[in-house]
Structure 1
């Protein structure tokens, strides 16, 4: 079954023209098949630049200047499992490597100072100066609560939602800057939570630059109803129960 799903991912046809200005390729981080699907999409898309959630601007610049340093830049980022991401880098061709990871100090600062203050003068452009509608805020807090195995008080999820909004805005800004610098199409490699069209990176781009077209593809293990422009299902990865370390005392 796993081999069949993998072959289906690799046999997917090229994306139909015209291609959007920015294509967001979502992922399940620990799923090797999702990354093979992203690699195939990058190969078909032939982007001018690829924005990575996992690398800071400095780490990406080192990797972009010397492609022999990609693995070292990845290790410096602290992100695991480089071998399952390697096919994406092998598919880049001449595309520039762009980093969009926010430094850890900035992420910590969101909790104390707020997303808008950390983001800077363009915060309003990406909607960070406004509170979310109550129903969306509660829905997003519930998603974070469930994702963290109900192991922390529900009210603390507000800070995690603020961090998610901040990161979505940072990724969107990096993609728009890459689009301006290198031209279309630009690809973004990020988790499926960032790729969703209702409030993730595509929504941030639509708010900040409505003239820019986007297309979001979710590489998912099942269709859970999260909105994307396109869904591609991959085999479920084998993994331990992620809640064990959070709920065991």
Structure 2
């Protein structure tokens, strides 16, 4: 009897862990292999909706209504290189397209008015009404300084940190709204910095809606200490020195 029961137990299919409510798929923006990886992840996940860092709500609605308009909506957003992002759109299936990009005017106003003022009533929900711990603030300023080739005064980086916090909160809010509207799972396409679990979109979601489960997958060009739930290394893209135009005399 015991052997029969054990056989029946072993014969049962192994149930996979349920998909998280929201999956953040990070990227190196100009790396085609990162986007192929994201496309493969989307085919496996089969999300109800995909939130794009790159598209405004208006541009996303245009592409969502007519997928043949995706390239035109992409160009209207101001982002380049739609062909390397095309595999992502090919992998969407029935997923709805959601845009989370803020206009340049809104982003510029973060420098003068602050992230909390721009996010309005949702600022406290995502922690924008609180100053960062000083050590984190200094670290993030240094990271922005290095990311911008050390070509600008480091004091200017405080505004860029504020913009990053604002954008993380906007992406998190868009993902939560999509989850409420369309159900799980929802995917987010954004840069790897936004996928960080310590202060990026997953952290914003954990603060605003701790009952929501997330997973952050980073498609990176080398092994990294960046806090992510999963790291997938892709070949390094061929590119010119991004700092040349900023540092050349």
* TM-score, length-scaled by structure 2: 0.93
Match of residue 56 from structure 1: 56
Equivalent in the alignment of 2:122: 122
Q: Distance in 1 between matches of 2:170 and 2:99?
A: 10
Tell whether 2:71 aligns with 1:71: yes
1:142: how far off? 0.5
Q: Equivalent residue for 1:156?
A: 156
Structure 1 residue 224 displacement after superposition: 2.0
Q: TM-score, normalised by structure 1?
A: 0.93
Instruction: Give the superposition deviation at 1:223.
Output: 1.5
Secondary structure in 2 aligned to 1:94?
coil
CA RMSD after TM alignment: 0.6
Deviation digits for residues 56-101 of structure 1 (CA, Å, limit 9, x no counterpart):
0000001000111000000100101100000000000000000000
Report the equivalent of 1:184. 184
SS of match in other structure, 1:158: helix
Quote the residue 2:208 is aligned against: 208
Is 2:42 aligned against 1:42?
yes
- The answer to whether residue 140 in structure 2 is matched with residue 140 in structure 1 is yes
Long gaps (5+) in structure 2: 1-15
**Counterpart for residue 226 of structure 2:** 226
Partner of 1:166: 166
What is the correspondence of 1:9-24 to structure 2 with a 5 Å cutoff? 17-24=17-24
**Cα drift, residue 17 of structure 1:** 3.0
- Identify the residue that residue 101 of structure 2 maps to in structure 1: 101
CA distance in 2, matches of 1:166, 1:138: 17
Question: Which aligned segments of 4 or more residues in structure 1 are displaced greater than 6 angstroms?
Answer: none
Does the residue aligned with 1:120 lie in a helix, a strand or coil?
A: helix
Residue aligning to 2:31: 31
Partner SS for 1:212: coil
Unaligned runs of 5+ in 1: 1-15
